[in-house]
Amino acid sequence: MRQEAYRACNPQAGGVAVRGWGLLTGWGAGLQSLPTLPAGAMQAQRLLPVATPDLASERLRRATRECLLGVAAVQAALDHSCLAPHEVAGARTALVYASASSYAAANWTFVTSETENALHFPYTAPSAVPAEVTIQFGITGPYLTLLSGANAGIEALWQAATLLTTAQCDRALVLGVETFQECAELYTAGRWLLGTPLLEAAACLVLERHPSLAAVRYHAEWGARSLASLVAREREGALASVYLCTPTAHAGQVASQYLQTQWPAMSLVLLHERLGICLACAPLIALMLAVTAGQPDDVLLLSQWWDAWAMVRWPGLSAQTGH
C-alpha cells in the first residue's frame, strides 16, 4: 500500500531505492530546468550562479548562503519523495554531505575579513551545512562529511549505500552543495584546475533500504591507467550508460575519446558538456538523470579529481524490480 501511494505521488521514481531528489542549480530548480542537449552557448560564461533561497525562517536569518542552499535542496527532495516531517526526523535517517568548494567562501572570509566569526573558522565551516540541515529537519542518525574534491559525490553515494545495507539507518539523505560566487577570483586564478562554466548547485537524493543496494559497487584508483582499470572491470556486466564527471572539459574529452576507442558501443554521457562544472554534485545529478531515464541495466558513475578516479556502479531497474 505504501509503495502504491508513493508511486502515485511520484510516478517518475525509478525504483524504491531512490525515493526522491531535490535540485537547485544555476540553470534553475529541478531536473526539468537542465539543458537537454550540450549547452554550447554557456561556454562564454565563467560562472552560472544559483539564486539564494528565501526561506523566511528566523532561525536561518544568519545562515550562510551554502547553508540555505543545503536546507532548500533537502526540502525539495522531501517534497518530491512525499515524506512527512516525522518520517525524516530521528535516529533512523542518515545524512551524508559532500562538497569540494562550498566551504571555500567561508575560509576566504576568515582569511580576509577584519572581524572574527566562529562560523568562518576553517575547522568549523565544513560542518555548517550539515549542522543546519540536521537541526532544521530533526535528523539525529549517522552523519558523514566528505570533502575529497570532485570525487566526494561518488564516495557519498557509496557511504550512504553502506549505511543502508548494514541497517544503520532506514533512509539516507545524500546532499551536495557547490558554490563559487563569493570567491570567483580564486577560481579564475586556478583555471588550470577547474573548467568553465562553474555551475553552482545544491543536490539531494533520498535513498531508502532496498535489496538492490547490496549490488552497489565502489572502486577508486590512482594513476594514469586507473580509468582503464575501473571501466574494464565493470564492462564484464551489462551497463546501460556511463556518466563521466570531470573537473575540466579537457579531462572529459580525453577520457571520452579513450573510452569510445576502447568500447565503441558504450553509451557515454559527459556531464560537463550538458551542465558545466559542478564537482561533487555532478554524480548526484547523474544518478537523478539515470533514474529518470528508467535505465534497465546498471549505470556506471565515474568521477575524476587530479590523478584519482572513483566509480560507483548503481543497479538499474532490472535489479530493483527483480525482473
Averaged over successive runs of 10 residues, the pLDDT of the chain (323 residues) comes to: 44 66 97 81 79 85 88 97 96 97 72 61 74 96 93 98 97 96 74 83 97 95 90 83 93 93 91 93 97 90 95 85 52
Give residue limits of the domains in the chain.
Answer: 2-211, 215-321
Place of cell 501511494: 5
What would the pLDDT profile of 84-103 be if each residue is shown by its tens digit?
Answer: 999 999 999 999 999 998 77
Residue 192 has what pLDDT?
A: 61
Residue 240 CA, distance from chain mean position: 20
* Burial 285-308, CB ≥16 within 10 A → b, else e: bbbbbbbeeebebbbbbbbbbeeb
CB 207 within 8 A of CB 174: yes
Please tell me the predicted confidence (pLDDT) of residue 33. 95
pLDDT recorded at residue 37? 74
pLDDT for 14 equals 45
Position 55 scores a pLDDT of 84
**Integer Cα distance of 18 and 98 in angstroms:** 18
Contact 202, 281 (CB under 8 A): yes
Q: What is the pLDDT of residue 48?
A: 94
The cell for 201 is 548547485
pTM of the model: 0.91
Backbone φ, ψ for residue 304 (5° rounding):
-125, 140
Please provide the CATH number assigned to the domain covering 2-211. 3.40.47.10
* CATH class, range 215-321: alpha beta
The predicted structure's pLDDT at residue 9: 57
Amino acid found at 264: P
Same fold, 2-211 and 215-321: yes
Q: What SS3 state is found at 112?
A: helix
User: Of all helices (H) and strands (E), which one includes residue 278?
Assistant: none
